[in-house]
């Protein structure tokens, strides 16, 4: 993922309202969101190169998503795929807190990442360029820097999320997808400096990214209701002109879903 914007325990009907864009090279193979055949309780897209994922949820209410921390100077091409951090959590029986304790010892082996991790009871963010935080109710933005960084698209999308939260159902979904389609490019003096060229800082600065070889590959809306119903909608973009491929899922989370603590 390149941008995750979410409201945690803020909306009157939803415990979690989340909107996310996955940005990637168009040539990298991946599959659209679906329940995995080898792990039928996991709903997620899949990176077909390393078999991990960027965002997913289980029928038990475990949720995870990852963004890359952009740090060109420390990038190691041989480092393990960061998508495995998400896939491993979704397919095991550990709760979020215990899983984070497990991976923290080897987090430095990965290139920079931010991991958003939760279950039916708690929500955490962890970065191997920052720290672990247990999140309180609020509106958050996570891109390729730390949580709630002052990057223009993070600040802009958090404001758009706040404005969308007076809506419900289809109207909320429409407002969130409108936010994820935002192509606004801030002025050069507002751009971050992350080690790429100014031209690429401009390309990467918008919520929805477009370029000849790299851009927003999918947009996802995840709503977890206080009634334990999950709504998951994904739009997949292949780098060509629309139409998008749209997938919709809705289910009730399993009861008594507290993960095991190991």
Rounded to whole angstroms, the maximal C-alpha distance in the chain is 51
pLDDT confidence of residue 72: 87
Give yes or no for residue 170 having a pLDDT over 50: yes
pTM over 0.75: yes
Q: For residue 1, what are the contacts with CB-CB under 8 A and spacing of at least 6?
A: 20, 21, 22, 23, 54, 55, 65, 66, 67
Q: Average pLDDT of 226-241?
A: 87
Residue range 173-182, pLDDT digits in tens: 999 999 999 9
pLDDT confidence of residue 262: 47
Q: Average pLDDT of 153-162?
A: 98
pLDDT confidence of residue 95: 92
Contact 89, 97 (CB under 8 A): no
Contact 227, 242 (CB under 8 A): no
pLDDT confidence of residue 244: 78
Q: Average pLDDT of 95-115?
A: 94
Q: Average pLDDT of 216-229?
A: 96
Residue 1: band (very low, low, confident or very high) from pLDDT cuts 50, 70, 90: confident
Share of the chain above pLDDT 70, in %: 95
Task: Return the closest-CA partner of residue 252 out of 236, 237, 230.
Answer: 230
103 or 239, which is more confident?
103
* Mean pLDDT across the chain: 93
Give yes or no for residue 45 having a pLDDT over 60: yes
3-state SS, residue 53: coil
pLDDT confidence of residue 29: 93
Angle value at C-alpha 205, between 236 and 233, nearest 5 degrees: 25
Q: Average pLDDT of 47-76?
A: 94
Share of the chain above pLDDT 90, in %: 89
pLDDT confidence of residue 255: 76
Question: Candidates 3.30.565.10, 3.60.60.10, 2.120.10.30, 3.40.190.10; correct CATH number of 3-251?
Answer: 3.60.60.10
Give yes or no for residue 240 having a pLDDT over 80: no
- How far apart are the C-alpha atoms of 50 and 135, rounded to whole Å? 30
238 or 166, which is more confident?
166
Sheet containing strand 229-236, edge to edge, reads 138-142, 3-8, 14-25, 214-225, 229-236, 245-252
Compute how many other C-beta atoms are within 10 angstroms of the C-beta atom of residue 248: 11
- How far apart are the C-alpha atoms of 262 and 259, rounded to whole Å? 10
Give yes or no for residue 43 having a pLDDT over 50: yes
């Amino acid at each position: 993922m390149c941008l995750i914007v979410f409201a945690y325990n803020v909306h009157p009907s939803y415990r979690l309202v989340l909107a996310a864009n996955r940005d990637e090279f168009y040539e990298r193979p991946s599959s659209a969101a679906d329940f995995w055949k080898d792990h039928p309780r996991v709903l997620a897209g899949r990176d077909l190169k390393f078999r991990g994922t960027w965002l997913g949820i289980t029928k038990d209410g475990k949720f995870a998503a990852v963004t890359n921390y952009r740090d060109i100077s420390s990038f190691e091409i041989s480092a393990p795929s960061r998508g495995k951090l998400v896939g491993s959590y979704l397919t095991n029986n550990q709760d979020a807190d215990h899983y984070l304790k497990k991976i923290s010892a080897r987090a430095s082996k990965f290139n920079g990442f931010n991991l958003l991790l939760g279950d039916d009871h708690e929500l955490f963010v962890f970065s191997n360029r920052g720290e672990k935080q247990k999140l309180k109710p609020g509106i958050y933005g996570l891109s390729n820097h730390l949580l709630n960084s002052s990057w223009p698209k993070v600040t802009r999308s958090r404001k758009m999320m706040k404005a969308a939260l007076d809506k419900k159902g289809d109207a909320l979904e429409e407002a969130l997808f409108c936010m994820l389609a935002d192509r606004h490019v801030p002025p050069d003096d507002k751009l971050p400096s992350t080690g790429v060229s100014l031209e690429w800082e401009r390309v990467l600065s918008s919520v929805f990214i477009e370029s000849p070889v790299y851009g927003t590959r999918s947009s996802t809306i995840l709503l977890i209701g206080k009634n334990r119903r999950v709504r998951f909608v994904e739009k997949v973009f292949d780098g060509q002109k629309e139409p998008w491929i749209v997938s919709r899922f809705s289910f009730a989370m399993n009861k008594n879903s507290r993960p095991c603590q190991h």
